[in-house]
Amino acid sequence: MPPTLVRTPTDFRRLCDDARARGERVGVVPTMGALHAGHLALVSHAKRHAKLVAVTIFVNPTQFGPGEDLDRYPRDLAGDMAKLAEADVVFAPEATAMYPSGDDTRVRVPTLASHLCGPFRPGHFEGVATVVTKLLALTGPCVAVFGRKDYQQLAIIRRLVTDLFLPTEVLGHPIVREPDGLAMSSRNAYLSKEERARALGLSRGLARAEELWAHGERNAKTLRDAVRDEVSRGATSIDYVEVADPESLTPLPDGALAGGRPLVAIACRIGTTRLLDNRVLGEPDEGA
Ligand code: AMP
């Protein structure tokens, strides 16, 4: 059975409330659509934790900066619906339904947003935090699944759910990769064949860091330089390669020794396409 498509916040809230009234647990998977196997793995995960699973599909304008890819972001609601056999509800609102006239509230998580992607995408995480808060408020008590592909986003969402006492259990899902290691992303559709090959530098760089880590390398600069070396072979430009604390996201300075399990995070451009990848060293790469 295809999922039920709803377009308005009121209808979406009603379906979630009705499910809870029947004693069902509600799961939600927020997405921007152009669904791939990574998104579908999140839906399967949600289905293991909830009876009614809703997928939200919304290309959120407030998380795109001027000159970013809001207008050309891939949109394919019919194709997405066809892929969502496991979901029960799809909520695909218009922007005016999420941000009606008079809308004036924004959610900021400034410290976590100040690292990694924050300085390169001013306002991005405020847009993400705001729309996710709205979506979770509409869903009500639920389990919400997010991918570790967007590691910083997940950390910010965990923080805001705690700080705002939202009745949401947040689950993180491992990164789902193509067989050759490329992290799945809707933006991979922008890559030419040649760029697609160059994009493998990200996962190769992370694999190299993991290899060094396994051999006892703990120097943050050595780990970072090794990753940067690999990424720079194919990248048009690098926003950052950081070795950071996995909780606070604070980058480790040169000379620091990485203790615990450090996060290695990359953002770079291949052609005009901005790609992200990350790995927590010493953890099994479950998503591979
Ligand atoms: P997006 O549609 O890009 O906003 O992503 C929607 C959700 O899917 C976010 O929680 C992402 O982190 C997650 N996601 C996207 N790509 C992947 C992937 N390759 N592996 C795991 N989760 C992913």
**pLDDT, average across residues 129-151:** 98
Binned at pLDDT 50, 70 and 90, residue 288 comes out as: very low
Q: How far apart are CA 192 and CA 174, in angstroms?
A: 26
pLDDT over threshold 80, residue 118: yes
How far is ligand 1, taken at its centre, from the CA of residue 29, in Å? Answer: 9
Question: Which of these, 2, 218, 1, lies nearest to 90 by C-alpha position?
Answer: 2
Name the residue with the closest Cα to ligand 1, atom 14.
Answer: 147
| pLDDT tops 60 at residue 208 | yes
> What pLDDT digit, counting tens, does each position of 29-52 carry?
999 999 999 999 999 999 999 999
Determine the Cα–Cα distance for residues 198 and 217; give it in Å rounded to an integer: 26
Taking only the tens place, the pLDDT of each residue in 5-17 is: 999 999 999 999 9
The two three-digit tokens of residue 33, written as one number: 């659509």
Instruction: State the average pLDDT over residues 142-171.
Output: 98
Under DSSP, is residue 281 helix (H, G, I), strand (E, B) or coil?
A: coil
What pLDDT was estimated at residue 287? 47
Contacts of 271 (CB under 8 A, 6+ apart): 190, 191, 192, 195, 236
Q: Residue 149 CA: which ligand 1 atom is closest?
A: 12
Q: Given this model, what pLDDT does residue 285 score?
A: 65
How many whole angstroms separate alpha carbon 132 and alpha carbon 130? 6
pLDDT at 286 over 70: no
* Tens-place pLDDT, residues 231-275: 999 999 999 999 999 999 999 999 899 989 999 999 999 999 999
Residue-level pLDDT at 263 = 98
Q: Looking at ligand 1, which atom is closest to the CA of residue 186?
A: 3
Which pair of tokens denotes residue 4? 């039920």
Ligand 1, CB within 6 Å, residue ranges: 31-32, 38-39, 42, 146-147, 149-150, 173, 175-176, 183-186, 287
Distance, CA 151 to ligand 1 centroid (Å)?
10
**Residue 185 clears pLDDT 80, i.e. is over it:** yes
Q: What is the mean pLDDT of the chain?
A: 97
Query: pLDDT by residue (tens digit) across 65-93?
Result: 999 999 999 999 999 999 999 999 999 99
Span from the CA of 156 to the centroid of ligand 1 (angstroms) = 15
User: Hey, which residues are catalytic here?
Assistant: 39
Whether the per-residue pLDDT at 197 is higher than 60: the answer is: yes
Query: CA-to-CA distance for 288 and 201, rounded, in angstroms?
Result: 15
